[in-house]
Structures are given as C-alpha cells and as structure tokens.
C-alpha cells in the first residue's frame, strides 16, 4: 500500500538526526572564524556578481543560499538575535551549532533525544541564573555605554575611524532619543554617502533625505524655517476626461495662456503669502510655479515619497495638508536649519533641529561602497546594543568571561541532576566553552591551553576573559579593560540557541515531497 507519492523521499531515525545535525553544524562553522576582535571577514558573491565583504554573522547567514531546512533554523537563530538585541548573532549561531554537536555525541551513546532536550532546557535555566549573577553592579552611565559600543564594534569594519570615536557618536545619538518611555531606537537612522573619509562621519540632530530643490535659483540654506508638507499638485489642472478645445484666433490662444499663467501664479502667491519658508510636496510642482517661488525666496522640494514625508512630519511637527486653501501657519512645522548639499551626483537635504526634535541621523561617510556598507552594519549593531544596555541597565563582562562563568555554574549544578539528563546538562556546559575557545583560536592562541588558563583564572580571580589590546592578548578581568556586553545579548543567545538545537535534535523523520 502506497501512502506517499513515488516522488517523495523519506529519511528516518538516526539518519535523519545525523543529517539535520550535520547541516546545522556546517552553517554554524561557516561563521565561527568571524567571532571576536580578531575575527576574519567573509566575501559573499551573488549569482549577479554583487559582492559583500563583512564579518557580521547575521549578514553572512542571510546572504548565504541555504536550502536545508535544519540549516535554515540556525539562520533564524541569528535573525532572532539581530531583531531582538542587535548583536551576538555569531555567538548565538556558533553556540547552537556546538549544542548540536554535543547532542550528536549523546545520541551516539544511546541517550534519548527527549532526555537531551530536557537536560538542555534545565541547563539553559541554570545559565540564565548565572548571567544574572554576572551583571556588573555599577550604574550604566555614558562611560559604560561607550564601552558597550566599543566592544560591539571591535573587530568590525570601521574604516579609518577608531571604535572609540564611533562610540562617542553612537552614544550621543541614543542619548538624544532617550525619553521617559525609554529609548526610541526607531528615531535614530543611519544614512550613508560614499566619497569622503570615514572620519567625516557625524551625528545630525535631525534627518537626511535624498532630495534636490525644485529650482536652481532657490536658496540652499534656510535658518529658523517654517515648514509645510503638501499632498497637492502645483500645476495646471487637467480634466478627468479627454476633451478638445477649438481656438479660432491668436487672441483666444493668448487668453488661454494668460489664464494658465494666472492659475499657476495664484498657486505660488498663495504659498508665498502663507509665510512658509520651506515647502515639501508629495506631488509635482510646475516649473513656472517653482520659478515664481524661487523669486519669493521659498525653498521647495517636490515628488517626495510617503516615507520621507512621514519622516519630515515627525521631525518638524508639520501637518500634512491636503488642499492649498488649508495652508496656514497653524499647520506649519519648524526646523532650526534646512540646508542642501551635493555629494558627487547625489543631492541631499538636511533638516536639523526640528520642532519635534525626536529624530537624529548618523551620517556615515566612506571611501568605497564596501567600506560604507560595513560601517553602516557596524554602527547599526552598536546603536542596538547601546539601546539595549540603556533600557535594561544591565551589562556583563565580555571577552568570553561570562561564558566561562556560566559553564562553571552549569557544571557545578549538573551534579544535582538525576539520571541521564545529567549528561545533557554537562554537555551544555561543554558547548558553552566553544565561545572562549573560538576567541582564542581567532587570536592565534591554542584553544585548549587558553581554556585551561581561563578556568584557573576564573577560580582564583572570580572573573577572567581573553582581552585583546592591539597586538597583545592576555587573560585578564574584562571590566578593567572596558570590555562589556549587554546582559540581554547573552540571555537571548542562550535562549535562541537552545530552542533551535532542541528543535533540531527532536526531529527523527524527514519527508520531502515534490
């Protein structure tokens, strides 16, 4: 009796488990060498020839053409980590892969998958408690936030800038959007522009939009600007139906042209009389209207998309007006300054010091597209982790110190776990060692020797990590060197990696149908 179609393929039992675990481990291994301040970069080339150079785990996994469903789960781990806390994607993926490796060894010892899952969840609970114990007691002030930003960016592409210089910009941006309701992370955007050294990267108290003035004779800078946003076309009205007009004389033609000119001049006069200094429209502006407004000293930008119109409205407090007759100062927004700049072939408008004053932009410069793209990813991650640290108020030691402490706590608690589940709890602790071991390998050290030394230092000193400073590598207290991470990054990595590994380990039947 046939239940499945002839084209279906089925893999069962140990073969299915091995296939899934192998796929998950392979994906995790692909990003392992990017971990830490000495991590290497990956060059990703698409079928169209597009090149991405990065060591950001989420970007690498997202760009890889992965088909295996179990391997795709590891990609989802990185995506979840990126969406929730903004950093630690490589840590989460590598940890998930090593949890699968430990699970495979236990399966070879005839430990049931359900027992492994139960043990892993028990170990994860202990690990989360251990993270709570590692939280540094000092206040998360600007100095600590800068350390969080620097730790996030160390080893990533920062162009010619130091992580310290970028950290100043990142913390300033996050502090600007920190309010009574917490950090409004969405109000910080990153805008990139190729054509200058990365040293020209700066924070703009406002927004940056890709637009150019509607007329060349319009002012390029307007101080103390009243702003309006129109959803109206400023051009000659046209009918909704096709119509023909018969003109029998030159006088009739001139009359029609004069009427058209009068209509357009009326639009321009209405705008000018309203007192607005800068006009943004989501529709088109006739060249003659733009010329009239240029003579009046009004700066106009037309054909904005809805996204940019919303950004400008949010930043300046301007209301969007749907009829020209409704144009009034009560609907205006305000900005301290609006200026236009040309960068190569690009025209940008900077809206600074808006009345709403809720939006800031990190304006990123770089010499090449690859540098700018990597710098954008780096700053984006730093903004996320600083926001996370500020919201939670909790940071933990970096440089592998927290993983050493967690593994030590899990091992000590494993002795109290009954039955074969104890093996899974111990395996979980062994899997955590992959983080300090990988950090050691990526700095050119012997992973086993470093792991032994880290454990010994943890026992004697209470806190020890593999700290990299320039060319030197030493086992020391990361807090003394300013190497810290948000506690939520560690928690999310443990939780997401555990969930993915246990889900994959429980699969014993794979059915593929055409």
Residue whose C-alpha is closest to residue 271's, from 206, 321, 334, 340? 321
CA distance 130 to 174: 29
CA distance 437 to 445: 9
CA distance 363 to 201: 6
Cβ count within 10 A of residue 438: 23
Neighbour-count burial of 427, counting CB atoms closer than 10 A to its CB (0-12 exposed, 13-18 middle, 19+ buried): buried
CA distance 182 to 128: 24
Q: List residues with catalytic annotation.
A: 56, 89-90, 381
Exposure class string for 403-412: b at 16+ Cβ within 10 A, else e: bbbbbbbbbe
Neighbour-count burial of 103, counting CB atoms closer than 10 A to its CB (0-12 exposed, 13-18 middle, 19+ buried): buried
CA distance 155 to 149: 12
- Whole-number Cα distances in Å, 94 to 148, 163, 454, 501: 21, 24, 20, 11
């Amino acid at each position: 009796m046939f239940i499945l179609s002839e084209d279906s393929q089925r893999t069962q039992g140990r073969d299915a488990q091995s296939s899934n675990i192998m796929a998950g481990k392979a994906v995790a291994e692909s990003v392992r060498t990017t971990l830490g301040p000495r991590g290497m970069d990956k060059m990703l080339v698409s079928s169209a020839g597009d090149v991405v150079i990065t060591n950001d785990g989420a970007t690498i996994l997202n760009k890889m053409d992965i088909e295996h469903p179990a391997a795709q789960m590891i990609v989802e781990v990185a995506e979840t980590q990126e969406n929730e806390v903004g950093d630690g994607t490589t840590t989460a993926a590598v940890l998930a892969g090593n949890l699968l490796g430990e699970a495979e060894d236990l399966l070879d010892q005839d430990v049931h998958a359900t027992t492994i899952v139960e043990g892993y969840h028990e170990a994860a609970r202990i690990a989360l408690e251990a993270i709570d114990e590692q939280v540094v007691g000092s206040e998360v002030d600007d100095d600590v936030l800068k350390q969080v930003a620097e730790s996030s960016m160390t080893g990533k592409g920062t162009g010619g800038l130091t992580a310290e210089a970028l950290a100043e910009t990142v913390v300033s941006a996050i502090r600007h959007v920190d309010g009574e309701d917490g950090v409004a992370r969405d109000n910080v955007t990153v805008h990139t522009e190729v054509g200058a050294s990365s040293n020209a990267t700066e924070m703009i108290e406002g927004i940056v939009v890709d637009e150019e003035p509607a007329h060349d004779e319009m002012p390029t800078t307007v101080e103390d600007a009243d702003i309006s946003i129109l959803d109206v076309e400023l051009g000659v009205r046209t009918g909704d139906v096709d119509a023909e007009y018969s003109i029998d004389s030159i006088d009739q033609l001139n009359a029609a042209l004069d009427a058209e000119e009068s209509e357009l001049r009326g639009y321009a006069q209405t705008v000018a009389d309203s007192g607005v200094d800068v006009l943004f429209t989501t529709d088109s502006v006739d060249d003659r209207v733009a010329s009239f407004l240029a003579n009046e000293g009004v700066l106009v930008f037309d054909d904005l998309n809805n996204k940019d119109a919303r950004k400008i409205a949010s930043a300046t407090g301007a209301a969007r007006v749907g009829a020209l007759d409704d144009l009034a100062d009560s609907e205006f927004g305000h900005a301290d300054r609006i200026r236009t700049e040309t960068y190569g072939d690009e025209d940008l408008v900077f809206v600074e010091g808006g009345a709403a004053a809720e939006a800031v932009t990190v304006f990123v410069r770089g010499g090449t597209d690859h540098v700018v793209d990597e710098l954008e990813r780096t700053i984006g991650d730093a903004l996320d982790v600083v926001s996370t640290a500020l919201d939670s108020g909790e940071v933990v030691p970096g440089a592998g110190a927290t993983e050493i402490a967690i593994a030590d706590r899990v091992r000590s608690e494993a002795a109290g776990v009954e039955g074969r589940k104890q093996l899974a709890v111990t395996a979980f602790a062994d899997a955590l060692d992959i983080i300090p071991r990988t950090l050691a390998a990526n700095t050119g050290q012997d992973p086993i020797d470093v792991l032994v030394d880290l454990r010994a230092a943890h026992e004697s000193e209470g806190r020890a990590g593999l700290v990299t400073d320039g060319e030197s590598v030493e086992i020391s207290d990361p807090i003394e060197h300013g190497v810290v991470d948000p506690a939520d990054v560690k928690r999310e990595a443990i939780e997401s990696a555990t969930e993915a590994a246990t889900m994959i380990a429980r699969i014993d039947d794979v059915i593929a149908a055409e």
